[in-house]
Amino acid sequence: MQPLRKGRYQGRLAETPTDLRAAQRLRWLCFVARNGTAEDDGTLVDADHMDADCRHMLVEEIATGRLVCTFRFLPLAGGHEIGRSYSAQHYNLACLESFEGPMVEMGRFCIHPEWRDPNILRIAWAAMTRFVDENGTRLLFGCSSFIGTEPDAHAEAFAMLKERHLAPRRWLPRVKAPNVFRFARALARRQPDPRRAMAAMPPLLRSYLAMGGWVSDHAVVDPALKTMHVFTGVEIGTIPDSRKRLLRADAL
């Protein structure tokens, strides 16, 4: 995939060990440093065994070359490879083993904590849209994280997910992780306030939902990263046409 340049940013694939290390360093700043669990000497990174199998997208400020956003993604030939994914470590995804067509798992999505420009997220999605179109991808999926491990703090958002955005039964992930919050069951009677609920959604999850995305009926609690995450899927064929046009216009 060729680099995508729009305005002051460009999206490109990592090509060198230095590129990968820069992505892992930004991930550490976003996912680990905020927990205050380690003193930073400028060399600490977030890395795991999945990095070697994944491709890594970088969004950089063109003028300075500064990395402002990154995520990794794992292309899969179809549902029969779902067991290779990071998500499969935390969710029972047997339901998706019959999914036909190319799939991509997105993960470790993060934006530099010092940057607030909404165009960064636009460029990231535009770059992913180009990859999806070039490779005939039929499903995007991953884990969408809420900061903090107390369910009450996310109750409004979870109630909204329960009410409007649960996965179709045929694709609904089952429980696998030992520590989960079954929000669809726990909040069955709660009616969400749509405005408050959407304001409480993580930005990446809001993007998934705007594309018609769906989620698991439970959240996995990650005490190491101090987050709760839900499995999230987007079937490319069901993305609203108006949203597709916007994504593809940015990807040109």
Domain range summary for the chain, segments of one domain joined by +: 73-251
CB atoms near residue 29 (< 10 Å): 17
Number of H helices, E strands in the chain: 7, 12
Residues in the chain: 252
Question: Which stretch of 11-15, 57-61, 243-247 has the lowest confidence by average pLDDT?
Answer: 243-247
Helix (H, G, I), strand (E, B) or coil at 13: strand
36: pLDDT confidence band, cut at 50, 70 and 90? low
Q: Mean per-residue pLDDT for 10-35?
A: 93
Please write the tens of the pLDDT for every residue from 114-173: 999 999 999 999 999 999 999 999 999 999 999 999 999 999 999 999 999 999 999 999
Q: Contact 70/58 with Cβ under 8 angstroms?
A: yes
Q: Which has the closest alpha carbon to 192: 176, 209, 173?
A: 209
Q: Contact 123/11 with Cβ under 8 angstroms?
A: yes
Please name the residue ranges forming H helices in the chain: 17-31, 118-135, 155-164, 183-186, 194-199, 203-210, 241-251
In percent, how much of the chain has pLDDT > 90?
Answer: 91
In angstroms, the CA 18 to CA 116 distance is 25
